[in-house]
Amino acid sequence: MMTICDFNRGPYPARIRIAVVELGIQEKVRFVEVDLRTGAHKKPEFLEKNYSGTLPVLEIEDGTFLAECTAITEYLDHLDPSPQLTGATARERGMIHMMNKRAEIEFLDPISVYFHHATPGLGPDVEVYQNAEWGEHMRDKALRGARYFDKVLSTRPYVAGQSFSMADITVVAAFVFAAIVKLEIPTHLCHLHEWHERMLARPSVQAWRDMG
């Protein structure tokens, strides 16, 4: 059985929890909580697993540790010869990886920077350096990213094309983080909000929302 180190309600861990349900491999993984609020992810014993000190981390049965949501999703998706979330053809894989990266750089990660720099974040014991001006700048970048994805979703049903993929999961996670930091996604971005309502109706996203 594989082990996933994460933090129950974290936006980045949500990406992997949603992927696990989408792939139907719940019985193959167990989740171990690492408490972000106490800085457990920055302790030496955790840094042995992931040098970057971030969550989630996947431990494979052979003792290998995989960090970064994209890498973990890629691994889990290819446990089956017919991948569902990362693309089956060369074109699909290229589009999904491009849009997933854009979702990170333009939307999700800027919200994370805003959280860590322009809000109390995880508290003074964890946030050893903060730059509020930089945080606010990244908040504005996230809103520009939301406008970009609204435009994208005006032309197709999913972030990377005609099928649900890990790129959609990443944008879902951006909405999760936006709710945590009380960052309002403008209501006039109707294509983005309509897409989000469809994503909330997916069983995998519902399962994450309903978990304890």
Q: How confident is the model at residue 202 (pLDDT cuts 50, 70, 90)?
A: very high
207 within domain boundaries: no
Does the pLDDT value for residue 135 go beyond 90?
A: yes
Nearest CA among 134, 146, 204 for reference residue 174: 146
CA distance 56 to 18: 13
Sorted by sequence, the CB contacts under 8 Å of residue 124 that are 6+ apart come out as none
| pTM for this entry | 0.96
Token representation of residue 86: 């990362």
The answer on 65 and 115 residing in a single domain is: no
Do the Cβ atoms of 31 and 6 come closer than 8 Å?
yes
Last residue of a domain, one of 77, 108, 137: 77
CATH classification at residue 37: 3.40.30.10
Last residue of a domain, one of 26, 48, 77: 77
Q: Flag the least confident range among 8-12, 14-18, 102-106.
A: 8-12
Does the pLDDT value for residue 198 go beyond 80?
A: yes
Domain that holds residue 138: 90-202
pLDDT digits (tens, 9 = 90+) for 77-86: 999 999 999 9
CB atoms within 10 A of CB 157: 13
85 within domain boundaries: no
CATH classification at residue 135: 1.20.1050.10
Nearest CA among 159, 182, 163, 165 for reference residue 103: 159
209 within domain boundaries: no
DSSP codes of every residue in 160-206: TBSS--HHHHHHHHHHHHHHHTT-PPPTT-HHHHHHHHHHHTSHHHH
Strands lying side by side in the sheet with 29-33: 29-33, 2-6, 57-59, 65-67
Does the pLDDT value for residue 9 go beyond 90?
A: no
Last residue of a domain, one of 56, 77, 98: 77
Do the Cβ atoms of 158 and 149 come closer than 8 Å?
no
Q: How many domains does the structure of the chain reveal? A: 2
Percent of the chain surpassing pLDDT 90? 86
The answer on 195 and 94 residing in a single domain is: yes
The answer on 134 and 71 residing in a single domain is: no
The answer on 182 and 94 residing in a single domain is: yes
The answer on 110 and 70 residing in a single domain is: no
Sorted by sequence, the CB contacts under 8 Å of residue 9 that are 6+ apart come out as none
pLDDT digits (tens, 9 = 90+) for 90-128: 999 999 999 999 999 999 999 999 999 999 999 887 888
